[in-house]
Amino acid sequence: MIDGLGRHIAYLRLSVTDRCDLRCTYCMSENAKFLPRQDILSLEEMSIIGHAFVALGVRKIRLTGGEPLIRHNIIGLVRSLGTLVDAGALDELTLTTNGTLLAGHADALALAGIRRINVSLDTLDPNTFAAITRRHRLADVLAGLSAADGAGLKVKINTVIHADTDQDELDRMIEWCGRRGYDLTLIEAMPLGDVAPGRPPISLSSVQAGLARRWHLSPLTDRTGGPARYFRVAETGGRLGLIAPLSSHFCDDCNRVRVNCRGELRLCLAGGASVDLRPALAGPSSQQAVMALILDRIGTKPARHEFSDPNPPINDWSHLPMHAIGG
C-alpha cells in the first residue's frame, strides 16, 4: 500500500481501548474521560480491520491503547491476528503495555504468537513511579517483566523523558536494561492533549550529550521502519534507541498508520483528518469494504506531523491525549 507521497505503508498500530489502570501524567489526566463502551469496537471488528490491513500489505501490527491488557479477552484478538503470522502474511504481531497485568498474560501472549513486546517504564524508583503514573504499581510491572522473561518474550523498554528527568535515573535504566538484556528506547515527551502542564519537554540532542558523558554510544545502522535512531552502549552491550519527534522530523520514510478503539483511521499521529471505518464494518463483506475505504483515503496521509506548527489546523490533534489516540 503506497500513500500519496510514495511511502510504503506497512505498519499498523491498533488501539484496543482508551482505558488504563495507570494515569501517566504526560498521557492522561487523573479524571480522564473515556469513550462509552458502546462506542468501542468489538474484538471481532478489530480483527476484521487487522485482516483488512494485512490483505493490503501491512506486515507489522502493534496492539496498543490505553492499556491493551485490561481489555477483556484480548488474547482472543491476539490469537486471531496471530494466525496471520503463522500463515506468513504478517511478519510481526506485537504489543505495547505498561506491564501491570503482564504477569498474568505473558505465557498466553507467547503461546498466541507474540515474540517481542514493548513495556513502558520510566523509572526503577517506586516513589518516582507513583509520581509519574499516579499509581503504586512498580512491583506489578517488575513481576510482569520477570514473567515475560520466563515466557521467552523479547522485551524493549520505552522511557518517556522530559527536561527535568534525572540523569542518574537514566543511567540506572541503561545499566539495568543492559543487565537484563532489554533494549531501551528514550522517547521525547510530546505535547498531546492538555494533560501535563508544567513539565518541560526536552530535545534528545541534549539528552544524547548528557549520556555521552557517562556512556560510549556508537551509532547503529538498524532501522525498524520507525522513528528511532539506535546506538550500542559499549559498557553494557545493550541497544539504546532515541525517538525525537519534536526535535527531528522522521516523516519522509514514515511507514505507519493508526486505528483507534472506535475504528477511526488516523494517518498521522499529529496531523490530518481521521477516517471513520465503522460504516464499512456495518455491512456484509466488511473486510472488503474496509479495504476499499482504506485504499480510498491512504493517499491523504499528511506529508509531515504538525508538532512544530504554531497554529495547527481545525481538526486539532493536540486536544487528544495519547491514550485516546492510541499510542
Binding site for ligand SAM (CB under 6 A): 20, 26-27, 64-65, 67, 96-98, 120, 158, 160, 187, 189-190, 192, 322-323, 327
**Minimum CB–partner distance for residue 269 and ligand SAM (Å):** 10
Paired strand residues for 256: 11
CB atoms < 10 A from the CB of 151, how many? 17
CA 78 to chain centre: 16
Give the nearest residue (CB) to ligand SAM. Answer: 327
Residue corresponding to grid cell 515474540? 115
Q: At what angle do helices 138-151 and 126-133 cross, to 10 degrees?
A: 100
Q: Which does 28 bind (CB under 5 to 8 A by kind): ligand SF4, ligand SAM, none?
A: ligand SF4
Q: How far is the CB of 74 from ligand SAM (least distance, A)?
A: 12
Record the cell numbers describing residue 245, joined without a space: 519527534
Which residue's CB is nearer to ligand SF4, number 118 or number 286?
118
| Alpha helical stretches, state H, 191-321 | 204-212, 278-282, 286-297
How many residues interact with ligand SF4 (rule CB under 6 A)?
13
Nearer to ligand SAM, 132 or 298 (CB): 132
Nearer to ligand SF4, 191 or 210 (CB): 191
| Chain CA centroid to CA 52, Å | 20
When asked if residue 264 is in the footprint of ligand SF4 (CB under 6 A), the reply is no
Residue 138 belongs to what H/E stretch?
A: helix 138-151
98 lies in the binding site for ligand SF4 (CB under 6 A):
yes
Gap between the Cα atoms of 122 and 71, Å rounded: 23
Binding residues for ligand SF4 (CB under 6 A): 20, 22-24, 27-28, 65-67, 98, 120, 322-323
